[in-house]
Amino acid sequence: MRPGEAAAPDRDFVLRMHRTMLRIRIAEEQIADLVEAGEVKCPCHLYIGQEGIAAGACAALRRNDYVWGGHRSHGHYLAKGGDMKGMMAEVFGKATGCSSGRGGSMHLFAPEVGILGTVPLVAATIPLAVGSALASKVSGDGKVSVSFFGDGATEEGHFHESVNLAAVYKLPVLFVCENNFYSSHLGLLERRAADNIFKAGEAHGVPGLAIDGNDAIGVHRAAEEAVRRARRGEGPTLLECRTYRWRGHVGPSWDTDVGVKRKDELKDWLPKDPVARSASWLLERGVAKAALDALEREVRAEVEEAVAFARASPYPGEEELCTHVFHGENGGA
Ligand SMILES: Cc1ncc(C[n+]2csc(CCOP(=O)(O)OP(=O)(O)O)c2C)c(N)n1
Ligand SMILES: [Mg+2]
């Protein structure tokens, strides 16, 4: 190995990231079908096509590190160790869901594995990640906070304010921007003058990297370095992970007919499938096709079981309507 060259990743480690991506892909394909069938009724923003980012970045984290997400966060929840049944029940609005059926797809919460919240207000959790990182710095608990957000979120003022504050205090936080080139139906260059999100940290003295978000191994490598830097007390890093969502902004459709360039672009991005890519990597290194097929069957069974669990679970009771809503008498915290 030459100086500066990265060590080859361990095969079992890549297999675990591959499994994470498969869990996200298969769960979301199932959710897409359930939305189409009318069985799942909450808005679901699918992450299909972007799995390499959640899998790669979360593989660099410890179980008790913190993750914050947004409206498209099934992948972050699963990659950080969130329970499949809890997520499936949540999108069904059931009491056994990870947010007790109150939040649906866009409000996933699993503090036992460090998921402090996914919130659909664009950019809302970026300052919250800075807050949890500040808490870690003050308490010295050694944890790192990761904020996952889209390219659209970088146009919100508090993204820039958050990066500044984190830089000034050298907070242990990673800003992971998933640049899928769209904010709803508006393309990147219709909203900003230059395709250079990774440079947003520079003005604040924060290192920024643009990386291939469809390469889980590369994302992991970059995230691992950023996590190490954060734990050493050297402050935040901005990772711009370039990727593409396959489905429409919200819901299961492919959105090739909504007046944007998606039809042309999709055909270029489909062959860059992050899941197929890690499968090829593994096959080239001697993992048997039969082993990958068995893994896929195992994940399908897990997803089916989670759907059965969600279907069989009760809705929250009417008597709980006011709990967790107001502070005080009704049991709200
Ligand atoms: C503050 C705010 N403004 C607008 C919206 C409506 N909205 C929901 S998702 C979205 C697009 C966000 O794009 P991006 O951050 O790139 O994430 P992506 O959907 O591409 O994953 C918008 C404008 C919102 N939820 N919150
Ligand atoms: Mg986007």
Backbone angles phi, psi at 146, to 5 degrees: -125, 130
In angstroms, the CA 179 to CA 161 distance is 19
The total of structural domains in the chain comes to 1
pLDDT score at 3: 53
Joined tokens for residue 296: 């896929």
pLDDT score at 262: 74
Single-letter residue type at 4: G
pLDDT score at 166: 98
Determine, yes or no, domain membership for 74: yes
Determine, yes or no, domain membership for 82: yes
More confident residue, 1 or 67: 67
For the chain, percent of residues with pLDDT exceeding 90: 88
Question: Which bound ligand lies closest to the C-alpha atom of 148?
Answer: 1
pLDDT score at 330: 54
Determine, yes or no, domain membership for 329: no
Contact 129, 146 (CB under 8 A): yes
Each residue's pLDDT tens digit, 221-280: 999 999 999 999 999 999 999 999 999 999 998 877 676 667 788 899 999 999 999 999
**What residues are in contact with ligand 1 under a 6 Å CB criterion?**
71-72, 120-122, 150-153, 180, 182-184, 249
In angstroms, the CA 183 to CA 215 distance is 22
The closest alpha carbon to 134, from 174, 171, 176, belongs to: 171
Determine, yes or no, domain membership for 14: no
Measured in Å, residue 126 CA sits from the centre of ligand 1 at: 13
Res. 333: pLDDT tops 50? no
pLDDT score at 256: 75
To test the pocket of ligand 1, the residue of 183, 240, 250 to mutate (highest count of ligand atoms within 8 Å of its CB) is 183
Quick one: which atom of ligand 1 is closest to the CA of 120?
25
Longest dimension (CA), the chain: 65
Res. 326: pLDDT tops 90? no
The rounded mean pLDDT for the chain is 94
86 confidence band (pLDDT: 50, 70, 90): very high
Q: Whose CA is nearest to atom 12 of ligand 1?
A: 183
Summarize the confidence of residues 208-213 as an average pLDDT.
98
Single-letter residue type at 104: G
In angstroms, the CA 333 to CA 114 distance is 20
Measured in Å, residue 103 CA sits from the centre of ligand 1 at: 17
Res. 329: pLDDT tops 70? no
Burial category of 297 from C-beta neighbours within 10 Å (exposed 0-12, middle 13-18, buried 19 and up): exposed
pLDDT score at 39: 97
Q: Whose CA is nearest to atom 6 of ligand 1?
A: 122
Joined tokens for residue 190: 């219709």
In angstroms, the CA 209 to CA 180 distance is 15
Summarize the confidence of residues 138-164 as an average pLDDT.
97
pLDDT score at 91: 98
pLDDT score at 230: 98
Joined tokens for residue 81: 């160790």
Who's near 310: CB < 8 A, 6+ residues apart? Answer: 85, 88, 89, 91, 92, 94, 96, 97
321 confidence band (pLDDT: 50, 70, 90): confident
Contact 85, 96 (CB under 8 A): yes
The closest alpha carbon to 82, from 94, 71, 90, 70, belongs to: 90
Give the domain range for residue 101: 20-320
Res. 2: pLDDT tops 60? no
Residue 237: in which H helix or E strand, if any?
A: strand 237-242
Question: Which bound ligand lies closest to the C-alpha atom of 154?
Answer: 1
Quick one: which atom of ligand 1 is closest to the CA of 45?
19
Determine, yes or no, domain membership for 261: yes
In angstroms, the CA 179 to CA 182 distance is 8
Each residue's pLDDT tens digit, 116-137: 999 999 999 999 999 999 999 9
Summarize the confidence of residues 23-46 as an average pLDDT.
97
The closest alpha carbon to 132, from 172, 159, 160, 161, belongs to: 172
For the chain, percent of residues with pLDDT exceeding 70: 94
322 confidence band (pLDDT: 50, 70, 90): confident
Joined tokens for residue 182: 């769209």
Determine, yes or no, domain membership for 281: yes
Determine, yes or no, domain membership for 328: no
Contact 59, 226 (CB under 8 A): no
Determine, yes or no, domain membership for 105: yes
In angstroms, the CA 245 to CA 226 distance is 25
Summarize the confidence of residues 171-188 as an average pLDDT.
96
CATH number of the domain bearing residue 106: 3.40.50.970
In angstroms, the CA 153 to CA 85 distance is 29
